[in-house]
Amino acid sequence: MTMVSATTAPQMSGAPAVVRRRVTVPLRFPDGFTATAEVLTFHGLADGKEHLLLALGGWEQALLNAAPEASGPLVRLHSECLTGDVFGSQRCDCGPQLREAVEEIAAVGGFLVYLRQEGRGIGLYSKLDAYALQDDGLDTYEANIALGHREDERDYSAAAQMLASVGATTIRLLTNNPDKAAQLGSLGIDITELVRTGVHASAENHRYLAAKRDHTAHTLDLPPLAATAPEPQGVTAPEAGTPAATGTSAAVYGTEDLLARVGKLIPRLRERAEETERTRQLSESSIEDMKAAGVFRMLAPAGVGGFGLGVEPYAQVVRLLARGCASTAWTAGHLAEHVWMLARWPQVVQDEVFAGGHAPLAAATGAPAGSAEKVPGGYAISGRWTFASGVMHSEWALLAVDHGTFRLQCLVPVSELEVPDVWHTAGLRGTGSSDILAQDLFVPTHRTLDWTLLASADNPGSRIHQYPLLHTPMAALLNLVAPSAALGAAEHALELFRERLLVRKVKNTTEERQADSPLAQARFSQAYGLVATARLHWEEALRLVSLLDGGNRPALTDDERARCRLSLALSGEASADAVRLVMAGSGGSVHRLTHPLQRIQRDVNVLVNHPTVAIDPVLEQSGRGLLGLGFTVPTF
């Protein structure tokens, strides 16, 4: 925490500013984020300009928390930038900073001070003249000097007046600019903490941001220029098998493109399902097909060659893959999720794992956590971790370890680990979810990360990439895999049942085909209804999780969490019930190991026993949440 305190009473000259008008304004940004601001205008500002103060979130309570031992409201001084704020110019980071500031302040309560100081105080036309000089090679500060201006002509006296007029003389300041803190401090505003803004870097503004970092000591940790390539604007995917499709290009798929390509994989996955189960791992052909379709890049940020898609497309992909093979859906869902987890790590690790623009495949497990001992340069870890889905196809492993009372996640090359052949199960056999063993394995410090920081909304990767999903709690995606795979598998079972009813002749009946039997018709209707119930619960859970998807919300309320987890569990249960009903009405031949229905039943039975959807504990904790009693399992 950085402290900046005034040593004297406020130094604002002239009469104090007074509020002339308050008006409520609903805000909506281009990405869909919404907030409500109380906008204040003033009489008596030092420079006579029409500056604004936007009161956001619980600002009244934040003012009450401004005692010396507390923190005060969060405040951002934002200088007007017509080109960035309104037109979305990529030459600066002003528009993304404005969007970020409104969200951050609204979450905790505070003020956005919008100052009419275009171009660091030189005006709009002069700023555009400066752009022309920058095109000729000058940096942003050199261009201002060349036009006869100072490097930065902004004065924050009016900002201090506005803050003082609402009683905000003790604040937390959201900024990377040390001059803002220095000026406010000299004007009598006590700053209890400097909160750094995100780094909204792109290829177009990298030089501009580097000049701010190097010339005026802005606290900016810029990613390498190679990691800030502009996001491609097209959404047409390359053909499977081309270099672009296999990860050597940053071509972007839209949601519809990705789902269409995944849908085309379903027949191939069905053909390979028996082999997948027999070998107890996915075939290399399936892995390569999913790479070509873009499955493993869907949750990677654009800055590392990913598509930056959201929660709903992710769950839809898992559901579609399960219509072909539940083991494939389970494995691919987790491998894609782990790419997203790696994007939450600091830059040094991302440079390593995302090198070459490919999506790194990593197994991840914390069941149970291993142990870690501090050694020079890192940690020595030991343990036996279970359920490492996809480890046979992974280059990396993300392993949970305990160091004293602290939980860490360690990033380890799979080549340094022992993977015993222990995955012999009734269902999901093709996931290859084997154990992982290590004994006193050295892990360098930079490949370890505090679990709390990794799981937080403000993780290191969220400061690197403009990808709202990185602010979403880690468990949100984990909880979606089992019910999404169960739903897709149940839909496949219903499809097979329909085909069977329309052609099968049942012994000891008079009908030419089973579909002509009223009992069979009733059974199909009931199975259909159960699948529809599973889908509706699944969609409701997606709706709740998507509240976090855009970065609009830091967390769900207890009531929302209870409803979300309950819907996911009930979706899984309804899917399993539908499959059991289908099996009971499909005759004895479907129990042959060569028939897909028996494999679907075994896979779904295992899926619904996963802790994320296991019905008994979910019912208990959801009931507590819905009754307002609080959860007894903090991670629920």
Q: Which residues are identified as catalytic?
A: 152, 154
Cα(440)–Cα(159) distance, rounded to whole angstroms? Answer: 56
Please say whether the beta carbons of 547 and 462 come within 8 A: no
Please, which residues bridge with residue 438 across strands?
383
Helical H segments across 157-254, by residue range: 157-165, 178-186, 206-216
Q: What is the DSSP letter of 280?
A: T
End-to-end CA distance of the chain: 31
Helical H segments across 217-325, by residue range: 255-279, 284-293, 311-324
**And the tokens for 221?**
């940790």
Sign of the torsion angle spanned by Cα atoms 452, 458, 462, 468: positive
Please say whether the beta carbons of 211 and 139 come within 8 A: yes
State the CB neighbour count (10 A cutoff) for residue 605.
16
- b vs e for 546-571, b when ≥16 Cβ sit within 10 Å of the residue's Cβ? bbbbbbbbbebebebbbbbbbbbbbb
**And the tokens for 605?**
């039975």
Torsion of CA 532, 533, 538, 540, to 10 degrees: 110
CA-angle at 223, arms to 219 and 228, nearest 5°: 125
Among the listed residues 541, 529, 528, the one whose alpha carbon sits nearest the alpha carbon of residue 482: 541
